[in-house]
Structure formats: structure tokens, C-alpha cells
A and B are shown apart, each in its own frame.
Chain A
Amino acid sequence: MASRCILQIALLLSFTTSLSLSYDLLQLQQQQRSSNSACLKLLRQVKGKPEHCQQDRMDFKFPEEIKQPRPFQKEMAALVIQEMLQNIFVIIRKEFSTTVWNKTIVDDLLDKLHQQMDRLKSTILQERPEDTNMTTLRLKSYYWRISRYLTARENSICAWTVVQAELISKFPIINSLTDYFQD
């Protein structure tokens, strides 16, 4: 009798937890998309003109396994998103120049990126995997090349214009990975 009650309570709790988690994931998904749209709008406000900076173009070699669509688990997708947002945050905070960016715009952008990273940590990434896989390592290398490029070009307008285009072009990948939250 008691075991039956305990079993029913456990089932009810698990059902409720899954429902709440599904609701949280759906909400997280919507928040992620909204944050991405806001970041894109801010990134487009770089003062440079891409058509004038063709001589500064650079192939930073984004990891193909992330660019090409393939099934991701929810935790892995969140981990990749987290890695990307974190590196973007670091690059902009370290390398931004007032000649290229408006400081208000930069602060707003950094704030949105931080909020999104906190949501991921509080939901899916509560228990982050101990092993860092190859995907995240390749991501780290990719963003390190971008940072080194900006330093070498002394944060010129054209360098930031090239980086701007590179960062903007990778936000749709973040949106695609967000779809794996509801697996």
C-alpha cells in the first residue's frame, strides 16, 4: 500500500518535472531566438562598409561539423551555443574600439549575451560534462583566430567589418541549434 503510494507520487513528480522542463525548454528556446535577433541588430551597427574592405577578408575556418546540419542532443546543442556566446562576449569586450562601435551599443550587446548564457547554465547546462569534446575545442580555436586577426589589424574599421560579417553569419547556426532543445 505504501509502496503503491510512493510509486504514484514518484510518477506524478516525474510527470510534473518533465512538463515543467518542457515548458522551461520552450521558454528558453523563445528567449534564445529573441536574444539572437537583438544581437544581430546590434552587430549590424558597425560603422564599416564590407564592400570597401574586400582586401581584409579572412577565412577563419569555422568548424564544419557545426555548420553542416546533423542531429544534436539537447545538452550538446546547448553546450555549443554556450561556447559560441561566451567567445563572442570575450572578443567584443576585449577588442572593441570606440572608432568602430558606439559604447552604448556595445554595453547593450554584452548584456544580452550574458543573460542568455545565464539561462543556459540554469536550465540545460546545470551539470556541464567534464570532458571537453573536440567540437568545443575547434570552436575555441576558431574564435582565437578571430581575436588574433583583430590584434594584427589593430582593430581597424575594415578588420572589425570583416569580423562583424563573420559573427553575423554564424548566428543562424545558433538558431538552428536552439531547435534541438525540444528533442
Chain B
Amino acid sequence: MMLSSHRAWAIRLLTLCLVVYVSLALDSPRISPDDPGEHCNFKVTFRKYRLILLWELKNHSIVPTHYAFEYTIMSKPEGMKIVKNCTNITSSFCDLTDVWQDMHEMYIPLVKAYRGTALLVQCAGSIMTTNLAIEPPDFEVVGSADHISVTVSFPSLAPMVYKEDLRDHASLVIEEHLENNVKRHEPPINGSFIGNFSYVLNDLIPNTNYCVSVYFESIRFTPTVKAPLKCILYQPGQESVAVAISIVYALRQSGYVSLHTNFPKALIFKNFVPWTVPDLPLLEDVNTVEVCYINRKKKVWDYNYDDESDSENEASPRTSEGGYTMHGLTSRLLSQIPTSSATSQASHPEDSADEESEEPEEETQPQPQPWLPAALGPSPGQRECTSESCERTGGLPQDLSFGDNDSNSTEGSGGKITFNVNLSSVFLRVLHDDPEDSEEASLVLTPPEETVNLEESSQETESSLLVAGGEKLQVLFPSLPPKCLWTGDDLSDESDTGSSDVDDVRDGYIMR
């Protein structure tokens, strides 16, 4: 009796175990590639204004080589529909912007994962239109002097979701985060979300870090996806610094600002030795004039206007490169005047009015009328005063003579020199001791003819250079001695390239 009761209990226990085992075995999940199950996680999103369906295999150990996407709807007993752009794809998403266009429909997606030709797994799901997550738009945050500007990037065409304008289903929201405070902005946007949209955040606290987030908010599409915060330190006036820096950079790039490290020698102050600036010369200083003795025979003009005589006896007036006829006078300082003879020579005076005026015509280039003093003849060549023999002079050398063929002869009476000057053009130059420091001031004027009396100017204590300009005499170069007369070494009838002790023969100048 007891044995039967024990057996009954054993049988019941075994039966119970068997039932449990069978139920467990039947309920155990079996992954069969032919049985589409919940092997994937599906997510539908509105990304970059495109309807995108993404999936991910729950079993990450399964690595397919490609996918095939199909779908159907729950409202009608229809078969699976193939999406052409999502067949045999390696990516785990599919663009369904132009495929799923009924927002009231429930879609059943089916994803087949392959490795080669072998089907690994099938994923099925259900997508409600209300499960759509609208991803936030791209935006930028820029700080200005008195505000923060938020620029949202919209596409060039109105974004459509399920064939309807997104503007009809969602609104743009801008959140302003300040520490623990969040301020919500709903900027009014007229029309669709097209182009770039800018919104200004005012009433900001200076020197405060602000963070901004932008997103779409919709009643129909419940998931709200907010953009990551973009933070900026609000500093009024920082924009001006940035602008200044950018300007400097632009100038440097364009070459206006050169930041070189190789300075020219003049700017290298490594061996700088302080030196005092020399005093400026007094205005009353008299420029030195070199008087050169030239022992040369000089043909005396016999007042013969014959052409032959002119051509034979007179050297052709030397024409400068500028087309001017040069005339020069040599003068001698009083201290250097030998008692015996004066070696100053001067070009013979000529009738400058007519003949000299013709000379420019012979020139190839049109030039102003050369200035020819009446008492001076053409000077084929001249030389500058050397520093050795030049001394200051304060008056007209007494031995100044003109038309003296003999170098040893002197002419002139009592230091008085009179010559006619054609002031149709005046060429002046100031000479100094140092030829390198010579100032060559050329001034061409067209003064009327007038006779200049050197006697008058010789009495002047102060040197001055008179230049006729029109009807008015103008005083130029007051520091020049008025009686520095200078001539070259070719006042004789020799050629210009003749015995000239000075290699550098320049244009003749007359200084009065």
C-alpha cells in the first residue's frame, strides 16, 4: 500500500518535470533565418530633411556583407514591396523620403541580412508615423558686440515629410541656456523652412557663458531630438578685437605690413654710436666757390658777325643732354689772384639775342631757349671747381675778364664786368666744395632780355642768386655767392673733348 503511494508520487513528479521541460523547450526562441523576428532595432528619423530608416542587428556577432530591404503596410493585405535603392546595400539604412508618404499608415519593414548568398537573419518591425524623430537642423552661434546671433541652416527647397511641408507639422525652437536657467525662444518664421535663418539673442549678461540648442518641436511626431549645445562666452567688444586682428593679418598677407627679421644695415643699432647731429649751416653761410686758374689762350671776339669766323673761331656751343647751351665763367677768389696775371677766362660775349635763339632750333629735341649771357660765349666744356682751389669769395674777382684770349692778360676795369645776358632761359647750378655734395638746381626760365650789371651785384655783401622769372626777378639760393663765376676749360676754340683736366664735363651754368 505504501509502495503504491510512493510510486504514484514519483510518477506525478516525473510527469510534472516532463511538462515543464516540454513547455520550456517549446517556448525557447529559435533563430531561424526563415522566420522574421525581432532581431533588429528599427528607428525612423528625419535627418537632413530626408526620411531615413535605420536598423541595427541585436546580435552583434552576426556580421552580414549586405542587406536587402522590403516593406508592407498594415491597412491592407498587400505583399512585400521592394525598394530599388535599398537592395543589395552595405549600409544599414535606407532613404525612404519618396517611398513612405502616408503619415497615417503603419509600415512593416523587413530587412534580410546576407553573407554572400547565404541568408543570415531576417528582421521585421512596425513603424508608426508618430514614431518619427525629427533631427535638429545645423546652426551656428556667433557673438557680437551686444548680442549673440544664431544662424540656422535650412535647405534651399521646403523640406517635406510624408508629402507634407514640415512647417505644417513642426515649429523651430531655440533654447538659451545660462547655467541652470533655460530660456525658450520660438522665433516666428514666415513660410517654409528655406534658406538661412538668423535669430538674435539680446539682453545678455556680459562675460557670461551662454549655450544654445536648436530643435524642431511637433505635436504629431512625439520624439523631440535636441541639438548638442553650442556654447560661447559673451564678451562685448570682442568682435572689434577679432576684426583688428583680421585686418592686421590681411595687411601682412598683402604685403603692406612686412614683418621681417632681416633689417637693413641702417636699422641695425647694434653698433649704434650716438652722434650729435651736426649743426645746420647758418643761412648766412656762404658757399665755397672754387676758382680755377686755367692758362689758356682764348680767342678774343672781334665783334665779327661773319658766319665763317663764327664757325672757325668759335667752338660750337656745347649742348647738354637737356638741349641747353652752356656758358660758363671762371672766376677766382680774391685770395688766390696772382698779382701778375689773371687766369680767369670767360667766354666771349656775343650777341645772344638772335644767334643763341637759333641754337635751340638746331637741337633735335625741343627745349627751352638756352640762356646765354650777352657777355659770354659758348663754352664747349666746363669743369667743376675742385675743392682744393676753391675758397670762399665774397665779391667779384677783380680780375674777372672776358674775351681774354691770353690767359695771362686781364681785362676789365676795376673789377667791373658788364655783359649782356639773354634771360630767355636760365640754367643755374650751385657748386660746393665737395663735388659729391654739389647741389645742382637747374631752373629754366624764360625771362625777358635784360642786361645784368655785375657791378651792382658785386657790391652785395650777401650772396644771392637772382633768377629772372618773367618780369620779376626772384631770389633763389640766397646762400650762393653772387659772383661765383665759373667756366670750364674749354672756353677756347678747342674742341669740347680737348684738353680738359676734368674728366666729368658737365653742363655749363652761370651764376650771378
- Residues of A bordering B, CB below 8 Å: 33, 37, 40, 44, 49-52, 54, 57-59, 67, 162, 165-166, 168-170, 172-173, 175
| Distance from A52 Cβ to chain B, minimum over Cβ atoms (Å) | 8
| Distance from B102 Cβ to chain A, minimum over Cβ atoms (Å) | 9
CB pair A169 B219 closer than 8 Å: no
| Distance from B16 Cβ to chain A, minimum over Cβ atoms (Å) | 25
Residues of A within 8 A of B106 (CB): 50, 165, 168-169
| Distance from A150 Cβ to chain B, minimum over Cβ atoms (Å) | 15
Partner of B76, one of A33, A40, A59, A175: A59
Give the docked Cα–Cα distance between A173 and B110 (Å). Answer: 27
CB pair A50 B126 closer than 8 Å: yes
Main secondary structure of the interface of A (DSSP, over half): helix
CB pair B36 A172 closer than 8 Å: no
Partner of B108, one of A37, A44, A51: A51
CB pair B104 A169 closer than 8 Å: yes
CB<8 Å pairs between A and B, sample of 20? A33-B219, A37-B219, A40-B130, A49-B38, A51-B36, A51-B124, A54-B74, A57-B75, A57-B77, A58-B77, A59-B76, A67-B104, A162-B74, A165-B75, A166-B75, A169-B106, A172-B103, A172-B220, A173-B104, A175-B219
Residues of A within 8 A of B105 (CB): 169
Partner of A49, one of B75, B76, B126, B222: B126
Which residue of chain A is the closest to B36 with respect to CB atoms?
A51
CB pair B75 A59 closer than 8 Å: yes
Residues of A within 8 A of B76 (CB): 57, 59
Which residue of chain A is the closest to B124 with respect to CB atoms?
A51
Asked if A57 meets B74 with Cβ closer than 8 Å, knowing A40-B130, A51-B36, A172-B220, the reply is yes
Give the docked Cα–Cα distance between A164 and B290 (Å). Answer: 123
Which residue of chain B is the closest to A172 with respect to CB atoms?
B104
Which residue of chain B is the closest to A170 with respect to CB atoms?
B104
| Distance from B69 Cβ to chain A, minimum over Cβ atoms (Å) | 14
Residues of A within 8 A of B220 (CB): 172, 175
Residues of A within 8 A of B125 (CB): 51
Which residue of chain A is the closest to B220 with respect to CB atoms?
A172
Give the docked Cα–Cα distance between A40 and B219 (Å). Answer: 12
- Per-residue CB contact flags for chain B residues 63-104 toward chain A (1 = under 8 Å, else 0) read 000000000101111000000000000000000000000011
Known A-B contacts: A51-B38, A51-B125. Give 9 more (CB < 8 A): A50-B126, A51-B110, A54-B74, A57-B74, A166-B75, A168-B130, A169-B105, A173-B104, A175-B219
Residues of B within 8 A of A169 (CB): 74-75, 104-106, 129
The CB with the most chain B CB atoms within 10 A, among A40, A166, A172, is that of A172
| Distance from B32 Cβ to chain A, minimum over Cβ atoms (Å) | 14
Say yes or no for B441: interface residue by CB 8 A criterion: no
Residues of A within 8 A of B74 (CB): 50, 54, 57, 162, 165-166, 169
Task: Using C-beta atoms within 8 Å of the partner chain, give the interface range for chain B.
Answer: 20 to 34
Give the docked Cα–Cα distance between A51 and B129 (Å). Answer: 15
Say yes or no for B128: interface residue by CB 8 A criterion: yes
- Per-residue CB contact flags for chain B residues 205-247 toward chain A (1 = under 8 Å, else 0) read 0000000000000011010000000000000000000000000
Which residue of chain A is the closest to B126 with respect to CB atoms?
A50
| Distance from B404 Cβ to chain A, minimum over Cβ atoms (Å) | 123
List the 5 shortest-distance A-B pairs measured between CB atoms, nearest first: A51-B124, A50-B126, A57-B77, A165-B74, A165-B106
| Distance from A173 Cβ to chain B, minimum over Cβ atoms (Å) | 7
| Distance from B250 Cβ to chain A, minimum over Cβ atoms (Å) | 55
Give the docked Cα–Cα distance between A54 and B38 (Å). Answer: 15
Give the docked Cα–Cα distance between A58 and B78 (Å). Answer: 10
Which residue of chain A is the closest to B104 with respect to CB atoms?
A169
Residues of B within 8 A of A175 (CB): 219-220
Residues of B within 8 A of A173 (CB): 104
The CB with the most chain B CB atoms within 10 A, among A33, A44, A50, A51, is that of A51
Residues of A within 8 A of B124 (CB): 51-52
| Distance from B37 Cβ to chain A, minimum over Cβ atoms (Å) | 9
Residues of B within 8 A of A58 (CB): 77
Give the docked Cα–Cα distance between A100 and B104 (Å). Answer: 23
CB pair A172 B126 closer than 8 Å: no
Residues of B within 8 A of A51 (CB): 36, 38, 108, 110, 124-126
Give the docked Cα–Cα distance between A165 and B76 (Å). Answer: 11
Partner of A54, one of B108, B129, B219: B108
Give the docked Cα–Cα distance between A49 and B36 (Å). Answer: 12
Give the docked Cα–Cα distance between A169 and B222 (Å). Answer: 15
| Distance from B59 Cβ to chain A, minimum over Cβ atoms (Å) | 18
Give the docked Cα–Cα distance between A172 and B74 (Å). Answer: 16
CB pair B75 A54 closer than 8 Å: no
| Distance from B171 Cβ to chain A, minimum over Cβ atoms (Å) | 14
Give the docked Cα–Cα distance between A161 and B222 (Å). Answer: 21
List which B112-133 residues lie within 8 A (CB) of chain A.
124-126, 128-130
Residues of B within 8 A of A67 (CB): 104
Give the docked Cα–Cα distance between A50 and B36 (Å). Answer: 12
Give the docked Cα–Cα distance between A166 and B72 (Å). Answer: 15
CB pair B128 A168 closer than 8 Å: yes
Residues of B within 8 A of A172 (CB): 103-104, 129, 220
Residues of A within 8 A of B108 (CB): 50-51, 54
CB pair B72 A54 closer than 8 Å: yes
| Distance from B213 Cβ to chain A, minimum over Cβ atoms (Å) | 24
| Distance from A3 Cβ to chain B, minimum over Cβ atoms (Å) | 45
Which residue of chain A is the closest to B128 with respect to CB atoms?
A168
Which residue of chain A is the closest to B77 with respect to CB atoms?
A57
Give the docked Cα–Cα distance between A59 and B168 (Å). Answer: 29
Give the docked Cα–Cα distance between A169 and B73 (Å). Answer: 11
Residues of B within 8 A of A49 (CB): 38, 126
Residues of A within 8 A of B128 (CB): 44, 168
Residues of B within 8 A of A162 (CB): 74
